[in-house]
Each structure stands twice: as structure tokens, then as C-alpha cells.
Copies of this chain bind each other. A is one copy, B any other.
């Protein structure tokens, strides 16, 4: 694992988990599913694949202090601060530029900081296979086996199996597909050769930089100038200057769609969730025999089924004659939402903005 590095992207907000996730308390910084935060779980999950000294965290100025406090085992200089949000292409580019200067043979595993994965052993087995493939100069993506016709994820279609022997089946990528509409999603689900795009990538730093040079030359040039100033007194000034001029692009649209030698590793057997909406907690946490999931609350449920009861503080929640409801109490704000309507929490954020109730955002 000498040249193996983890890059954790930790700058998002996760507004769809309102009222628990807030501007000042983004999703990955919260102990959403237990005692540790999703960010801490993400770090824990890569332990054994690499060492804390080889974990980079890319984040924003506002979140850096809290992240450092939550992960004291990671050296402070491994936290890279994005001056403004410029999309995942820029984030990954920055990490690649910094890593390549440090270790020209660096292989990087890139993870969102706010996902849930149940079984660490399965995850590490898959990642070891992915690293093996990445060392052969592939750009590797981790695919998630779809379980329903999701319209909120991108899809990856696999082609023929990669030649060679790997510890897990790996395929050449045939095509990336943007978030589909519902009809197409149903088609992709039944096709059998599509995975969800997990946002987890594995590749050599030099290899992705070469793709940037070819496909995003402006970003590449900026990264070169940032790389040259890195570790010098000009580091901050150059980063600031270059960053503000960058185009905001995701790695998927900016690079992956037209990259060469892209592989996908369909991670069947991996219980994964992006914990994107409240109803995903029914998958992540284990419902009781009535289909209810209760987090933190002292509770008394009468004639209650398929419901989520979530409180940030210990509080008594009593329900009577309630089905398919999500009840989320965050102290100053309470959400009561039908289970089918979880995606409308976005509308709430808009509504609060429009009615000048910023204190709740």
C-alpha cells in the first residue's frame, strides 16, 4: 500500500436531509447513523487500505476546522481547502496535482464523505481489486448494482470483461448515462448491464492528470501552476488566483464520458447508500417487525407501521395510528413527511429561502 492514497471529498451540504443537515451542519459532519459521523465512517472504512498520513481531505474553508477536529489522526496539511466550489473535476485535479508532486507513482482512491456502506470487509476486498486494475493504467469506477429505477443517479453501462485475472469481476465501460427519466430508469434497471455511478473512483494521479491535459487543458494548466507553487510561500496566492478562473465541471461530464481505458467494477454484494433522502434510512438501518425505524428517540408507537422516527436529541415521540410517515425532530424544527414525498424536502429549502427564514437553513 506504499503508493496508495485516499482522497475524501468533504465539501457538500446534503440539504435533502433537512432539518437535521443545515448549512452550518452539513450531512457528512453529523452522527447521522450512530455515534460517529459519516465522514468519520468514511475514514474508518479505508483504514487497512492506506494509512492516515496518506489520506487527503478536500473541503471548504468553513468546514476545515470541524473536519480536522473529527479526524485528528490525519496530518493538518493533508486538508486541502477549495477557495470556492468548482465541481468535482477541480477537486480531483487539485488532489491529483498535490499527490503527483509528493509521489509520482501515487494511486488515488476517491470517495464522497457522506455515503453509507454496511460491510467494510466486502468494501476493502472490492477496493483491492480496483487498485490492482488502476495500477494497470485504467480509470476505475465503482458501480452499484441498482435495486430500483432510480432517477437520482447516473448510470454506467458495462462492456466486455477486462482481460487478465482480478479478485473481482471488472468490465470495460461502454457508456456513461446522465440521470435518466423514470421510463429510461426502468429500462436500465432491467437491462442487467447497468450500474449506478457511485462517485467512487480509483486511478493513478499521473493517469488522471494526463486525461485532464487531453480533455480539460485549461484546468490542467492551472493545476500545473498550482502544483509548482505548492509548498512555497506563494501556494495560497496562486491557488486563489487560479481557482476563481476555473470552469465548474463534474468529473463525469468533464473527463469520464470521453476518457480512454475506463473500467467499471460492479460492486454486487456491497450494501451501499448515498443516504440522499430521509427514506434511504429504511435501507440503511434495520426496520423492526412493524417496518419502523427509530433513531435516538425514546418512543411509544401505537398502531404505527413503516415509519421513521428520528430525533437529534433524546425526546419522547408517541405515534398513534400512523403509517408510512417520516418524523424528524431537530430541536428548533420538525419535519413530518409522507414516505413517498421525501424528495420534496428540496421544496422546503426553497420555501424557507423565499420566506426569509434563513435561520432554519
Binding site for B on A (CB under 8 A): 19, 298, 300, 302-303, 315-322, 325, 327, 329, 332-338, 340-341, 344-345, 347-348, 351-352, 355, 357, 360
A333 to B316, CA, bound (A): 5
Q: Per a CB cutoff under 8 Å, which of B318, B325, B340, B341 touches A334?
A: B318
CB–CB A336/B357 < 8 A: no
Q: Which residues of chain B are near A355, meaning CB under 8 Å?
A: 300
Task: Verify B332–A316 contact, CB threshold 8 A.
Answer: yes
**Can you give 25 A-B contacts (C-beta < 8 A)?**
A300-B352, A300-B355, A302-B348, A302-B351, A303-B341, A316-B332, A317-B333, A317-B334, A318-B334, A318-B336, A318-B337, A318-B348, A319-B336, A320-B336, A320-B337, A320-B344, A320-B348, A321-B337, A321-B340, A322-B336, A322-B338, A325-B336, A327-B334, A327-B336, A329-B329
Number of copies: 2
Contacts of A332 in B (CB 8 A): 315-316
In terms of DSSP, what is the predominant structure of the interface of chain A?
strand
Cα(A236)–Cα(B321), bound, Å: 49
Look across to chain B and name the residue whose beta carbon is closest to the beta carbon of A333. Answer: B316
Q: How far is the CA of A340 from the CA of B341 in the complex (A)?
A: 23
Q: List 5 tightest A-B contacts by C-beta distance, closest first.
A: A321-B338, A321-B341, A316-B333, A320-B337, A320-B341
Query: Closest CB-CB distance, A263 to chain B, in whole Å?
Result: 41
**Minimal beta-carbon separation of A320 from chain B (angstroms):** 4
Q: Measured between C-beta atoms, what is the minimum distance from A310 to chain B in Å? A: 11
Q: A315-B332, A318-B336, A329-B334 are in contact. List 15 more A-B contacts (CB 8 A).
A: A19-B318, A300-B348, A302-B341, A302-B348, A317-B334, A319-B335, A319-B336, A320-B341, A320-B347, A320-B348, A321-B337, A322-B336, A322-B338, A334-B334, A336-B336
Q: Which residue of B lies closest to A344 (CB)?
A: B320
Q: Which residue of B lies closest to A345 (CB)?
A: B320
Instruction: Give, as a whole number of angstroms, the nearest-CB distance from A344 to chain B.
Output: 5
Cα-based distance from A334 to B309 in the complex (angstroms): 11
Distance of A18 from chain B, by nearest CB (Å): 8
User: Of residues A334, A335, A340, which shows the largest number of chain B Cβ atoms within 10 Å of its Cβ?
Assistant: A334
